[in-house]
Structure formats: structure tokens, C-alpha cells
Amino acid sequence: MTISENLSAFNNKRIVDFESEISSLDVAYRLRIDYDSEEGAFKEMLTAFCNDPKAAEAKELIIGAWFGDDMENDSSGIVDLLIRNKDKLPKLEYLFLGDITYEECEMSWINQSDVSLLLAAYPQLKHFQVRGGNQLSFGSLHHEVLETLIVETGGMDNQILEEIANATLPQLKHLELWLGDESYGWSGTVEDLKPFLSRDHFPKVTYLGLKNSEISDEIAKALNDASILDGLEILDLSMGTLGDEGAQALLANSKIAQLKSLNLSHHYISDEVSEKLSKLPCQVDLSDQEEEDEYGRYVEVGE
């Protein structure tokens, strides 16, 4: 599977593509250009958005395809422009950098950049979402307000994991990491994920997503007695390669029953073990059952 559709809603608002002016604050605006757009078109569009008088009241912004026909063009220019215009977007709380479909650019080809100064420039941000792991960096991340962090990749480098694990995010409630597989950049191990399983690192997290992973079974086993499960409401291991071994580890983990929701969609679990999971007292999503072929198992989104 690939990402075939753009986001349709953001912060419970319908998304529309920005053209020349902000006509309503009841919608969220996405900025993007076509592959045959002239050089500099995206920066002109972003500048026009920031210069609109209503931008001072905008709470949401979605950055779509910015690169035209040059997919080597990374996000650094867009990040710099957003930083320079921070005073024109004083109420921005929800930012998505990379709402890009596979027809615009495969996720594993999206070139991001260092977003640490961007997050520092917007201390009021509550939600930050980014797609694409190439060149992505969070630096020494410290943010007092951020509640949601979503990082979507087809393969996450362990440096990104280390930066997020070492971040100071005291208000974080929703942490969602698309880990991917080795063919598209995954370079971590289950040991690199141990900080995310500790309540000490993320004291307020109620949603933990370790998704789209080729080591789903190992993650499930590592969750045994993990302190992050204390107070966790939603555990999301979807889009990955979870099989009977990992599923049995979840069944043996008494803390799993305390969840409100367990998302295991896109899995390789047998019917017999799936039936046992379905009897857990929490809501369990076992949709999209896959069958392992001669080449093994696959994450839902790689390339």
C-alpha cells in the first residue's frame, strides 16, 4: 500500500487548497504546487499566505508538495521561510509538513530537513506532523506545549529515534512513529525503542503508536511490564508485521487488558490467535489480515 490520498481534515476542519487569499478561518489551508509549476512558486504561495491579514488568526497550516519537478529539493527553504514569518502566524497550533501522496512523491523519496529551529520558532504549537525521513532531524528538541508528535516514514533512521527519545516534551499525549523497514531506511533495533516504553520519558502519553514496523513481534514482546502501559489508553501497532509470536506476548501481558483500544490492523496473526485477542476487554482492531508469502512479511507503507 502507498499513501494515495491527501488529508481531508485537520484539527476537525475541512482542508482546502490555498490559492491567493484566506477567505475563511473555518477551514484549514493546504499549500502545494504541481510538478510543472515554475521555480519559486511554492515560496511565493507561502509568502502570500503569511502576508494575508487573516493569517494572524490561522491555527492550522498544511504543507503539501513544495518541490515541483525537482524531488531532490528538500524542505529546508520552506522551514526557513516559516521561521522568518513566525510573527505573522502567532496563533498557529497545528502544522503538518509533508501532506504528499505517492503520485506526487513516494514517501521514501521525500527530502526533509532539520526542523528543530522550526519547532522552537513556534512555541505555541500543539500538533506537529511530518512525512518523510530523509535528512529529517529534530536536534535537541525541547517544547513545553506540544501535545501531538507524528513522524511518518517508510524507514526511520535510529538518529531520529535517539533525538525524539532525548527530547523534552512534558505535555506530549500522542506519540506516533512510523518505523518502516530496512529497505527504505529503518536502521534501529528494539533496544532503540526502549525509551518510548518508559513512562519516565513520556509521563503524559495516552496514545503510543509504534507503527508500520518490520519488528512488530519484537516490540510486542518488549512491552512486557513496560511502564508506558500504565495510564496508556491506546496502543497502536498497526501497519506492521505482527504475527502469532508477538500476539501471544500481548495476550500474556496483563497490562494490555487495561487499554481502551489496541490497534493491530494490517497483521499476520492466525485466526486462532486472533480469536483470543478479540476476547480481550479492550477494543481490538484486527482488520486487514495478511498472509506471509515466500518472501516474508511486509509493512503497509515502505516506498
pLDDT at position 117, please? 97
Which residue from 100, 101, 104, 126 is spatially nearest to 37, judged by alpha carbons? 104
Secondary structure tally for the chain: helices H, strands E = 7, 12
Mention the CATH class of domain 9-214+226-237: alpha beta
pLDDT in tens, 191-217: 999 999 999 989 999 999 999 999 999
pLDDT at position 247, please? 98
pLDDT at position 1, please? 57
pLDDT at position 242, please? 98
Give the end-to-end CA distance of the chain in Å, rounded to a whole number.
Answer: 9
Q: Is 54 helix (H, G, I), strand (E, B) or coil?
A: helix
119 — pLDDT class (breaks 50, 70, 90): very high
Q: Is 51 exposed, middle or buried (0-12, 13-18, 19+ CB in 10 A)?
A: exposed
pLDDT in tens, 41-62: 999 999 999 999 999 999 999 9
pLDDT in tens, 139-154: 999 999 999 999 999 9
pLDDT at position 69, please? 86
Distance CA 79, CA 160 (A): 18
Enumerate the domain spans of the chain: 9-214+226-237
Strands 60-63 and 94-97: what pairing?
parallel
For residue 262, the cross-strand partners are 235, 284
Average pLDDT, the chain: 96
71 — pLDDT class (breaks 50, 70, 90): confident
129 — pLDDT class (breaks 50, 70, 90): very high
Say what percent of the chain tops pLDDT 90.
Answer: 94
Name residues whose C-beta falls within 8 Å of residue 207's C-beta, 6 or more positions apart in sequence.
173, 174, 175, 176, 232, 233, 234, 236
Q: Is the pLDDT of residue 272 over 70?
A: yes
